[in-house]
Structure 1
């Protein structure tokens, strides 16, 4: 038996199709706003006024910084001219790149090779947002992508 498509069939189809599209867009927009970590700086113009000088001072330190995660052990290695050092950690935040919900503040201890802390990590993309202070008072700021080891 052949059924005739009437106007209300077409209207229902359009409403359902656009309803799904709008529902998905709203869900994604709410998730994007809810998980956004926030602003990096309060006023980007003010921050830009000293950016070049701060970057040059940071580069002049000659530090090589990397971080690895093995199980629950987060190892932060700061090398100055190839030698491991333990600068003052002003702030460190370990977390996901896209969300602040699982952010942690590691408590680092230097073992002669690296600064280590116990964190609740796991597989995936992790970042370590650092503010370190050198012996001469230079502030070193960097977001380090953590290499997750098996």
Structure 2
């Protein structure tokens, strides 16, 4: 039985070497992209939140209960004029005057744009100059209340010009 085709013979045939080359190039590309993405993930993420998760967890409930007893509510506004406005209020809506308060503005996935903010009181809020680009941000507040209670709070927000 003879085989008849309507297509002309171009002289090109798919050989085992061609198939091997296609597989090597295809999987090589997949591996290269995966290694690149893994490198970028590891090289840009700071990784450590606390030095010892176990030690930090031993007093977590006590610290959380003490902090919740303060009744502080924190919120952030970014009006787009190069400032960040932090409202830190007590249960009665009055501005909180902590003994200490530091604010670190970070990106959730890298440290390149981290900014330690210099907070000043202005019109019932804390205000700080900032340099924000579009995207996700995290404001890390740490401080101490006048009664000695530790205060930690993270506020994640999105900024768009």
Q: Same fold (TM over 0.5)?
A: yes
| Shorter-chain TM-score tier | over 0.9
Change (3 A) 1:83 1:37: same
Find the residue that maps to 2:22 and give its secondary structure: helix
Find the residue that maps to 2:159 and give its secondary structure: strand
Q: Unaligned regions of 5+ residues in structure 1, if any?
A: none
Alignment of 1:1-150 (within 5 A): 1=10, 3-71=12-80, 72-81=82-91, 82-146=93-157, 148=159
**CA root-mean-square deviation:** 1.6
Question: Are the equivalent residues in 2 in contact too, given 1:37–1:99 (CA < 8 A)?
Answer: yes
CA distance in 2, matches of 1:87, 1:79: 11
Report how many aligned residue pairs link the two structures: 150
Find the residue that maps to 1:93 and give its secondary structure: strand
Q: Deviations over 1:44-63 (max 9, x none)?
A: 11111100000000000001
CA distance in 1, matches of 2:126, 2:101: 14
Please report the TM-score for the alignment, with normalisation by the length of structure 1. Answer: 0.92
Q: Deviations over 1:87-141 (max 9, x none)?
A: 2444321021111111000100011411000010032111101102111111111
Q: Unaligned regions of 5+ residues in structure 2, if any?
A: 1-9
Higher Rg of the two aligned structures: 2
Q: Which stretch of the first structure deviates more once superposed, 134-143 or 88-97?
A: 88-97
Please report the TM-score for the alignment, with normalisation by the length of structure 2. Answer: 0.87
Find the residue that maps to 1:122 and give its secondary structure: coil
Question: RCO higher in 1 or 2 (8 Å CA, sep ≥ 6)?
Answer: 1
CA distance in 1, matches of 2:147, 2:158: 29
Change (3 A) 1:110 1:146: farther
CA distance in 2, matches of 1:25, 1:36: 17
Change (3 A) 1:111 1:10: same
CA distance in 2, matches of 1:24, 1:89: 46
Q: Report the alpha carbon displacement of residue 9 of structure 1 after superposing the two structures with TM.
A: 0.5
